[in-house]
Amino acid sequence: MISTDEAIGIHKLLIDTFGGSKGIRDKDALQSALFRPYQTFEEKELYPSPENKASAMLEIIISNHPYLDGNKRIGYVLMRLILIENGTDIKASEEEKFEFILEVAKGKVKLEQIKAWIQLRLIKNVL
């Protein structure tokens, strides 16, 4: 699981590298988003696979908008970190990723569609 401090550090690095406003708009929303992929109900994981977890992370970071700026960037990075941590990654063009993330941000792509997009592009991590 990605800790709040790790997520804040990754966001700072992204803002330092690509520009934008630093800072958290809602720390509770950030913490809630980081816990979502690991939620359980009656001792069963709500998001059992890495793709489910990654989908939940992307959707909630973008929709909760916990940072002042860069929510789409950090959402995408956190999604990929979950996948990489589990030995997989995404293979897609920069344009394809960009368009997809914009569709998520517009609310046109929801959880199951995010998962399907990931599954179609999932590759074994070559690291």
DSSP conformational letter for 47: S
DSSP conformational letter for 43: T
The ranges assigned to domains in the chain are: 4-124
Tally of residues, the chain: 127
CATH class, 4-124 region: mainly alpha
- The pLDDT of 72-76, averaged and rounded, is 97
Q: Is the pLDDT of residue 127 over 90?
A: no
Q: Which distant-in-sequence residues (6+ apart) come within 8 Å of 88 by Cβ? A: 50, 122, 123, 124, 125
pLDDT in tens, 22-45: 999 999 999 999 999 999 999 999
Q: Is the pLDDT of residue 126 over 70?
A: no
Helices 27-35 + 50-64 axis angle, to 10 = 160
- Chain-wide mean pLDDT for the chain? 95
pLDDT of residue 125: 75
pLDDT category of residue 77 using cuts at 50, 70 and 90: very high
With beta carbons less than 8 A apart as the criterion, state whether 26 and 60 touch.
Answer: no
With beta carbons less than 8 A apart as the criterion, state whether 121 and 92 touch.
Answer: yes
With beta carbons less than 8 A apart as the criterion, state whether 50 and 82 touch.
Answer: yes
Q: Could you give the CA distance from residue 86 to residue 50 in angstroms, rounded to a whole number? A: 7
